[in-house]
Amino acid sequence: MAIVKMDNISLIGLEADKEEIIKELMKLGVLDITSLEGMAEDEEWSEHLSRDGCEEEVFRLDSQIQKIKSAIEYLSQYDTRKKVLFAPKKAVDISKYREISESQENLWNLVDKIERYDQLIAQLKSELNKCKNTVATLMPWKDLDIPLDLTSTKTTAVVLGTIPSTEDIHELEKSFEEQVPESYFHVIGTDSIQAYVLVIYHNSVEEDALRLLKNHGFSAMQFKDMKGTAKENIDLMQRRIEDIEKETEAIQKEIVAMAGSLDDLEILYDYLTIERDRKKILSRLVKTGRIFMLEGWLPEADGPKVAEHIARKWDCVIELRKPEEGEQFPILLRNNSLVQPFEPITEMYSLPNSNEPDPTPFLSPFFFVFFGLMVGDAAYGILMMIATGLVLLKFKPEGFLNKILKMLFLGGFSTFIWGALFGGWFGDLVTAISNGKYSIPPLWFNPLEDPMKLLIWSFIFGAIHLYTGMAIQAYKLIREGKVWDAIFDIGFWYVFLTGLALLLAGGVAGTIGKYMATAGAVLLVLTQGRSQKNIIKKLFSGILSLYNAVSFMSDVLSYSRLLALGLATGVIASVINAIAVLFGFNIVGILILIITVTIGTVFNVAINALGAYVHGSRLQYVEFFSKFYEGGGKPYQPFKIETKYTKLNDRRTV
Amino acid sequence: MKWYEFFLDGNFLALLGAALAVIVAGLGSARGVAMVGQAAAGVVTEDPERFGQTLLLQALPGTQGIYGLLTAFVILTKIGLVGGSPVELDTVQGLLFLGASLPVAIVGYFSAIGQAKTAVSGVGIVAKRPGELAKAITFAAMVETYAVLALLGSILMIFGIRV
């Protein structure tokens, strides 16, 4: 089956060997270590052993990793090297790891330096802003040729300030001349909001002068800590701004120079991560003074090999056993290369538990067919295959991304087949360009011309899908020894539902269907109430169970989305084509045609592939899985070397 | 032709139907996509790497607008305004087209907003548990079912009208 069978391994070894054994297990990377926390808290055991772990060390490593991470992020901003999408991890030899870890000192200096530079740049930036603000406030006073810090002479007061532009400045000037002759009123400049004025008055007329100013909305300006004229100060600030800019540039240059160490920092990051993981796993172990114990699951095929390998190298007690009946073990799916791309669909819902079959092989042919049917354009299918194929070949992505891209590749193939069957090649592009003279005939039929036919086929596909789900449930029941349940709950439903379907078809089949449906209904009424004790209740729940036929119907109707989404692609494509040929077949027209079809195709493929994926998954989750699937399996997460930036070259396995 | 007779013109009524499908369903989608976009922007402020995932959720309530356009296009093709020669419709035929456009217009509007609310909550799922994107999408897709059914209803009705 497609769930990998697991062996349980328990290992008791000497505390002195612990570090080496853990290291080796990590390198092997196949053991999913179970937490023995429960055992340490068990009364029977708790006097003899305690939980292992070194949280402080983990904490220390974590904060170091965090520090390097921010340094890496900071440096990457200045990294001038070309970045590649889906860049593969750099392969690094184990000797390089050792080298880096031994010369950590230099890298830590670098990290500190980056941190300092980061702060310095932030400081400079805030100073720069301050200077620019000061210049902006001083600018209107540029033409004032007396020092800003001059606020009085022996017998006069010197006042600087602004008057809002709503006031008539000339009138004010005149009033000063008339009412306070012992003064000097000078407008230095005006802008749209206010006027900038200098007022000098004799101390004896202070009251009058201030009253006059106040009446005209005067607000005084004070330039604290500034010596010299405004112009001098502006020059000073501008020189400082230049300095700051130069300084910042110099620091940035230094940082760019350090970007060369980015590789080393990344290796250190991964090295510390491995170290941290190795310490972190200890919390799942238990120990006494001298010995430690660990327990875990690993694939059946690796079990004996790993056990032997460890036992040969160190003195320890190893026990290997198969899971007991009904015991849950971590789930790893392994399918052939055609089914594997569809594993994410199962994984995203929930992994199967260890007592049931992996649903992926069952759902993948349906997903394949439904996806293609919902996109349904041969040219789009080819484009999808080319695009995903190129990414797969060129970048060789791993894991999840790899599976998704392969799924889209297969989906593209299905799309191509359905497109050819429906006669969709970029929708009706050929017909649109030739103005109806030519068209690519469908191999089967055109759903735009006969939607009812496709609707019925959608229901038939749906019924097959649902029957398959019910068959898997029957298989599960039979495996558990409940053969009668399988016959009553699945077999009789098959009879009843098939009868109903034939009845709809009419003719001779309809007559057969009538008898089948009646027989099925009677059998269901007789058996569905079997869990009830009272005979009347038995009959009643039997009759009530026929109501389930309604929910089966609504499940089947849900497959009408296959038609709706299939039509959507074709119709959107013909909208695009109709716009594309609007401008005729001169040079400009053809150019517009190419651009419109290109952009439209990208949009149409994207929106429909997303729709097909979403609704394809939904049909599996809601309609298919509800017939048989339990899920709730715990994913198999082996204790292994997990790195972010680099890949360890030397990875000996057993 | 008196002014009110214009409202009984078959072609006008059919076009009104097409316009309603685009306008009402489109409004719903626009509101829905905006709602999810706002929630997504909040998450991306904290964690820029969530962009791709939240964008996927944002796209979901956008389909209703497309369904509206699709319906309008089918109507336009049917009455010969796109690719073909225009047909003269009588009042009853026009009303039939108008009626057929209502499912996708009305259900499209409300399902887009309902789906957007679900997707906004889905953005919350992605913010806390990035691995559970598929579940967030599935919840939102459940709402979309009714938009798909409405589209199907509208299109089947339009295909069935004799012109």
Structural domain ending residue among the three candidates A222, A245, A266: A222
Q: H helices within B47-132, ranges in order?
A: 51-59, 63-78, 91-102, 108-128
pLDDT for A650 beyond 70: no
pLDDT at A652 over 50: no
Kindly state whether residue A139 falls inside one of the protein's structural domains: no
Over range A287-296, report the average pLDDT: 88
The boundaries of the domain holding residue A208 are 150-222
Highest mean pLDDT among A85-89, A131-135, A458-462, B153-157: A458-462
For position A216, which CATH number holds?
Answer: 3.30.70.2750
B141 touches chain A (CB under 8 A): yes
Most confident of A15-29, A47-61, A116-130, B27-41: B27-41
CA torsion A519-A522-A528-A532 (nearest 10°) is -160
Q: Coil, helix or strand for A90? A: strand
Residue contact A560–B144, C-beta within 8 A: no
Lowest pLDDT segment from A106-120, A212-226, A279-293, A490-504: A212-226
In chain A, the residue whose alpha carbon lies closest to the alpha carbon of B130 is A348
The tens-digit pLDDT sequence of chain B (163 residues) is: 778 888 889 999 999 999 999 999 999 999 999 999 999 999 989 888 788 788 888 888 988 998 898 899 889 888 887 666 788 899 999 999 999 999 999 999 999 999 999 999 999 998 998 778 878 888 888 898 899 889 889 988 998 888 8
Which of B107, B126, B151 to mutate: most A Cβ within 10 Å?
A: B151
Nearest chain B residue to A615 by CA: give it: B141
DSSP state letter for B106: I
Task: Decide: A607 and A547 in contact? Cβ < 8 Å.
Answer: no
Q: Specify if A280 maps to a domain.
A: no
In a domain, A393, yes or no: yes
For chain A, what is the mean pLDDT?
Answer: 87
Residue A532 pLDDT: 80
The SS3 of residue A532 is coil
**A397 vs A375: CA distance, rounded Å:** 25
Please judge whether B69 and A575 are an interchain contact, meaning their C-beta atoms are less than 8 angstroms apart. yes
A558–B contact, CB cutoff 8 A: yes
Assigned token pair, A101: 């870890």
Q: A23 CA to chain B: closest CA distance, Å?
A: 29
Sort out which chain A residues have CB atoms less than 8 A from B156's CB and list them.
451-452, 455
Closest by Cα among A456, A453, A469, A455 to A552:
A469
Residue A534 inside a domain? The answer is yes
Using a pLDDT cut of 90, give the percent of chain A over it.
Answer: 31
Helix axes A360-375, A451-479, angle to 10 degrees: 170
Domain boundary among A189, A222, A255: A222
Helix (H, G, I), strand (E, B) or coil at A274: helix
Residue A288 pLDDT exceeds 90: no
Cβ of B141 within 8 Å of Cβ of A575? The answer is no
Q: d(Cα B154, Cα B25) in Å, to the nearest integer?
A: 13
Using the Cβ of A620 and the Cβ atoms of chain B, whether some distance falls under 8 Å is answered with no
Question: Which residues, including other chains, have CB under 8 Å from residue A257's CB and lie 6 or more apart?
Answer: none
Residue A246 to residues A124, A235, A241, Cα–Cα distance (Å) = 11, 17, 9
Q: Domain total for chain A?
A: 2
Give the pLDDT confidence score for residue B84 in this predicted structure: 67
Q: Does a structural domain hold residue A18?
A: no
Contact B73 A565 (CB under 8 A): no
Reported as a pLDDT band with limits 50, 70 and 90, residue A144 is confident
pLDDT in the model for residue A99 = 83
The answer to whether residue A119 sits within a structural domain is: no
Q: What's the pTM value of the predicted model, to 2 decimals?
A: 0.76
Residue A447, pLDDT above cutoff 90: no
- pLDDT for A221: 81
Instruction: For A623, name the nearest residue in chain B, comparing CA atoms only.
Output: B142
Query: Is the Cβ pair B82, A349 closer than 8 Å?
Result: no
Q: What are the chain B neighbours of A615 within 8 Å (beta carbons)?
A: 141, 144, 148
In tens, the pLDDT along A318-340 reads: 999 999 888 889 999 999 999 99
Distances (CA, A) of A60 to A65, A67, A273: 9, 11, 12
pLDDT number for residue B118: 95
Q: What is the ipTM of this complex?
A: 0.70
**Which residues from B are below 8 Å from A349, CB to CB?**
134-135, 138
Judge: B59–A621 Cβ closer than 8 Å, yes or no.
no
Which chain A residue has the Cα nearest residue B151? A564
Position A654 confidence tier, pLDDT thresholds 50, 70, 90:
very low
Has residue A601 been placed in a domain?
yes
Interchain proximity A621–B63, CB inside 8 Å: no
pLDDT greater than 80 at residue A648: no
Residues 6+ apart with CB under 8 A from A205: A180, A182, A183
B63–chain A Cβ distance below 8 A for any pair:
yes
Which of A607, A615, A617 minimises the CB distance to B134? A617
pLDDT, one tens digit per residue, over A467-487 is 999 999 999 999 988 999 999
Residues 6 or more apart whose Cβ sits within 8 Å of residue A182: A201, A202, A204, A205
| Residues A364-369, mean pLDDT to the nearest whole number | 96
Structural domain contains residue A142: no
Residue A653 has pLDDT above 60, yes or no: no
Looking at residue A193, what DSSP letter applies?
Answer: S
User: Does B55 contact A at CB distance below 8 Å?
Assistant: no
Residue A633 Ramachandran class (φ > 0 left, ψ -120 to 50 alpha, else beta): beta
Highest-pLDDT range among A146-160, A199-213, B11-25:
B11-25
pLDDT in tens, A60-111: 999 999 988 888 888 887 776 666 666 667 778 878 888 888 888 888 888 8
pLDDT the model gives residue A83: 63
Structural domains present in chain B:
3-160 (1.20.120.610)
